[in-house]
Chain A
Amino acid sequence: MSSRRKTLAVLAVAGLALAGCSSSGGTSNSTSGSGSGGASGETITVGSIHPLTGALAGAGQLMQDATEMAAADINAAGGIKGLSGAQLKIASGDSQGKAETGQSEAQRLTQSGAVALVGTYQSDVTKNVASVAERSQVPLVIDVAVDDSILAQGYKYSFRIQPNATGMGTSGADDLAGIGEQGGSPIKTVSYIHIQGAFGDSVFTAFKKEAEAKGITIAKEVAYDSGSLNDAATQVAQAAAPKPDAIVVTGYYPDSLLIAKSIAALKPDVKAVYGIANGGFDDDSFPGAAGAAGNGLLSANYHYDATSARVKDIRTRFEAKYGKPMETAAMLSYQAVEVVAAGLDKSGSKDPKKLRDAISALELSDPLLAFDGPIKFDETGQNTNATVIVMQIQGGKVEQVYPQKFKTVDLKFPAKPGAS
């Protein structure tokens, strides 16, 4: 009996370890696509792949809702004009947060007639979906997925609106240096706490290169494993030990919350705590969750443009309709559907190959995110004008503070962590 239990235990541990702690989902919302139709009153199907079940389902569902809302808005405004008012229809796929499921969902959607795909929120899922898009010659407009390597394959059918990891690390370093200069208190040394893996490593590497070029030295690098971070005090103590001018943090929401709370407890003597591509610091629910520990936190990230009237309108209607604030990830999903629609309009065809050519030549002004210019893709499919802006938690709210042209309130710097 006992040895049998032991075997079971070992099997259980091995099985769970293999499953990688990820919760697996139940149902997959599926709407089968309809690629064919008459000339007038035609429906064009766009596939949307997001994690609708599993650990990331909250964000995934918002992103799915945003694609539906974008399609509805476009249809209400007369549909795709280049295709005599054809209506958009979203066919949704559930990646369950898993790369292989995302891939099979992409196959299902393209085979059932989707002319383009949007998604997927996670880099590893997006990598697999991009390979399907390439093979089936159906364009993929990436809403959120930061890893550089997705577009480094020489793919012709994948496009990304947001900055990649290297872009975020690089402009994150530029902005940090800029903030120090502007505040008259230059940053000379930083400690960097980041999640282990492609995401954290690539942002850190890019930051390090650019920071060193600007005369900022990395005093300490602390990498942590997201799956087993239950208390960040040790990581923060390690980062604080060399007494840096700033602590930089790259990670997901729960990790960032633990880190912010530990920083508030340990009170290291730094001028700023600064997130780059951070999944928590500029999330609208973060100030409430962190309380005093959130005050003054800076975050360099891509972000919806809070100074734009069009963005304000979309966010207001989204919140009224779905009862939840529209985060940046959902705004990117909305934008991705707009990119597909603009491509369809321009090509005047629902042939995926012609759509691909049209998207690659697009120049979409008035982007929904705070970017340096119109959305415009280079030969790798990366939006050349994608940048990060810097936000800060002030008075319990996430405000845009840097650079000047996107600011909603004045930057507070130096910003002691946890100080009110």
Chain B
Amino acid sequence: MRGLGLAGVVLVLLALVYLLGDKSAALVNQAVVTGTLLGGVYALVSMGLTLIFGVLGIVNFAQGTMLTLSMYAAYVLVTSLGLNVYLATLLLVPLLFGLGYLVQLLLLNRLMSEGETEGQLLVTLGLSLLIANGLLLAFGGQPKSITAPVGGNLRFLGAVASVPRVIAFVGAIVLALALTAVLQRTRLGLSIRAVAANGQGAAMVGVNVKRVFAVTFGLGAACVGAAGGLVLPFFSLTPSTGEQFTILAFVIVVLGGLGSVTGAVLGGLAIGLLQTVGGLFVPGTGALLLVFAVFVVVLFVRPQGLFGSDL
């Protein structure tokens, strides 16, 4: 329902842009297509963050660098082993899941029991520095990129959408559906939701809370695993590539509501559209300011986020 509401608001705003915006329709079409596809990328990065944030209450500063790590892993699989990048993506999901699982189990779980948040913040920040500088050491800072196995562009209504970006968008939707299915339909999902709602209560009825924490962080990391492979064909890769997404991902997650996968997807799309369509009217950094303005307004009007407590 709330999804329809948000979609309605977005459609009305878009209609206003078309009717009163004083821009050619082809230009707005392009902005809408670009923004939607960009929103898919944002959703990919935000989905994992919303789980980690919503269930564990951990502000994962390393989400962006974990994305970079996964992109480099994909890069190595593609350039050294000659794998198709989308095949590599399938391998990255379990790999990053394992990494996330271990990080939570070995590092963060120790801090969780003491009930403090500062320690976790520092650990994830440290992890992000460690990954970024480790990548710098291993690969240097020169931009790297791969050639996408499928190229070309789709055209409609005068707008152009590059095929790898469309694939990433479809990947984001598939991932969101899969994640929702896991959370809503499986025993594991039930325990995750139970832990998110009331950790102590869940522990009392026999849920292994620490394991659920580890699995959740693993799932969050698996999402950037998928994201890394899906976005590599159209981004040039440096050790700091992923960091630019961290801020926006936090905005999207809070906007969408902590722990809500639907919120992350729709929030991502809304921010993507706001950035590109808004960018037609305000130059340069103005588009980003627009995003933060909306963020502040939403926090003010609906502090729990658009899809808060939806898990």
Asked if A26 is an interface residue, CB under 8 A from chain B, the answer is yes
Q: Which of B37, B141, B236, B250 contacts A55 (CB 8 A)?
A: B141
Q: Which residues of A contact B37 (CB under 8 A)?
A: 231
How distant is the Cα of A4 from the Cα of B129 in the complex, in angstroms? 25
Q: Say whether B132 contacts A58, CB under 8 Å.
A: no
Asked if B104 is an interface residue, CB under 8 A from chain A, the answer is no
Asked if B113 is an interface residue, CB under 8 A from chain A, the answer is no
Asked if B285 is an interface residue, CB under 8 A from chain A, the answer is yes
Q: Say whether B285 contacts A57, CB under 8 Å.
A: no
Q: Say whether B240 contacts A22, CB under 8 Å.
A: yes
How distant is the Cα of A135 from the Cα of B266 in the complex, in angstroms? 54
Q: Which residue of B lies closest to A24 (CB)?
A: B129
Q: Say whether A231 contacts B284, CB under 8 Å.
A: no
Q: Say whether B34 contacts A231, CB under 8 Å.
A: yes
CB distance from A185 to the nearest CB of B (A): 26
Q: Say whether B142 contacts A234, CB under 8 Å.
A: no
Q: Say whether B34 contacts A9, CB under 8 Å.
A: no
Q: Which of B57, B250, B275 contacts A13 (CB 8 A)?
A: B250
Q: Which residues of B contact A257 (CB under 8 A)?
A: 143, 145, 236
Q: Say whether B279 contacts A285, CB under 8 Å.
A: no
Asked if A40 is an interface residue, CB under 8 A from chain B, the answer is no
Most buried by B among A237, A258, A291: A237
Q: Which residues of A contact B250 (CB under 8 A)?
A: 9, 12-13, 16
Q: Say whether B239 contacts A254, CB under 8 Å.
A: no
Chain B interface: which of A102-110, A142-150, A221-229?
A221-229
Most buried by B among A1, A2, A60, A266: A2
Asked if B41 is an interface residue, CB under 8 A from chain A, the answer is yes
Q: Which residues of B contact A26 (CB under 8 A)?
A: 129, 133
Q: Say whether A10 contacts B236, CB under 8 Å.
A: no
Q: Say whether A233 contacts B34, CB under 8 Å.
A: yes
Interface size on A, residues (CB 8 A): 55
Interface size on B, residues (CB 8 A): 66
Q: Say whether B142 contacts A285, CB under 8 Å.
A: yes
Asked if A238 is an interface residue, CB under 8 A from chain B, the answer is yes
Q: Which residue of B lies closest to A1 (CB)?
A: B57
CB distance from B308 to the nearest CB of A (A): 8
A16 touching B246 in the complex, CB below 8 Å, given contacts A57-B239, A223-B284, A253-B236: yes
Asked if A270 is an interface residue, CB under 8 A from chain B, the answer is no
Q: Which residues of A contact B299 (CB under 8 A)?
A: 6, 10
In the complex, which residues 56-76 of chain A have their Cβ closer than 8 Å to any Cβ of chain B? 56-61
How distant is the Cα of A10 from the Cα of B58 in the complex, in angstroms? 13
Asked if B234 is an interface residue, CB under 8 A from chain A, the answer is yes
A12-45 interface bits toward B, Cβ cutoff 8 Å, 1 = contact, 0 = none: 1100110001111110000000000000000000
Q: How many A-B residue pairs have CB under 8 A?
A: 167
Asked if A409 is an interface residue, CB under 8 A from chain B, the answer is no
How distant is the Cα of A53 from the Cα of B238 in the complex, in angstroms? 12
A233 touching B30 in the complex, CB below 8 Å, given contacts A254-B236, A291-B147: yes
Q: Which of A24, A58, A228, A265 contacts B162 (CB 8 A)?
A: A265
In the complex, which residues 104-154 of chain B have their Cβ closer than 8 Å to any Cβ of chain A? 117, 121, 129, 132-133, 136, 140-145, 147, 153
Q: Say whether B41 contacts A230, CB under 8 Å.
A: yes
Q: Say whether A61 contacts B143, CB under 8 Å.
A: no
Q: Which residues of B contact A223 (CB under 8 A)?
A: 283-284
Q: Which residue of B lies closest to A233 (CB)?
A: B34
Most buried by A among B65, B235, B246, B283: B283
Q: Which residues of A contact B129 (CB under 8 A)?
A: 23-24, 26
A231 touching B238 in the complex, CB below 8 Å, given contacts A12-B61, A225-B288, A324-B140: no
Q: Which residue of B lies closest to A11 (CB)?
A: B59
How distant is the Cα of A17 from the Cα of B142 in the complex, in angstroms? 25
CB distance from A417 to the nearest CB of B (A): 13
Q: Which residues of A contact B73 (CB under 8 A)?
A: none
Point out residues on A near B: beta carbons under 8 Å. 1-6, 8-10, 12-13, 16-17, 21-26, 53-61, 196, 222-225, 227-228, 230-231, 233-235, 237-238, 241, 253-254, 257-258, 261-262, 265-266, 285, 289, 291, 324
- Residue pairs across A and B with Cβ atoms less than 8 A apart, 14 shown, are A8-B121, A12-B59, A16-B246, A17-B292, A21-B243, A24-B129, A57-B140, A58-B238, A61-B140, A228-B287, A230-B41, A233-B159, A253-B236, A257-B145
Inter-chain pairs besides A8-B117, A257-B143, 4 sampled, C-beta below 8 Å: A58-B238, A59-B142, A228-B287, A324-B142
Q: What 6 pairs between A and B have smallest CB-CB spacing?
A: A58-B141, A196-B284, A57-B141, A55-B240, A58-B142, A237-B30
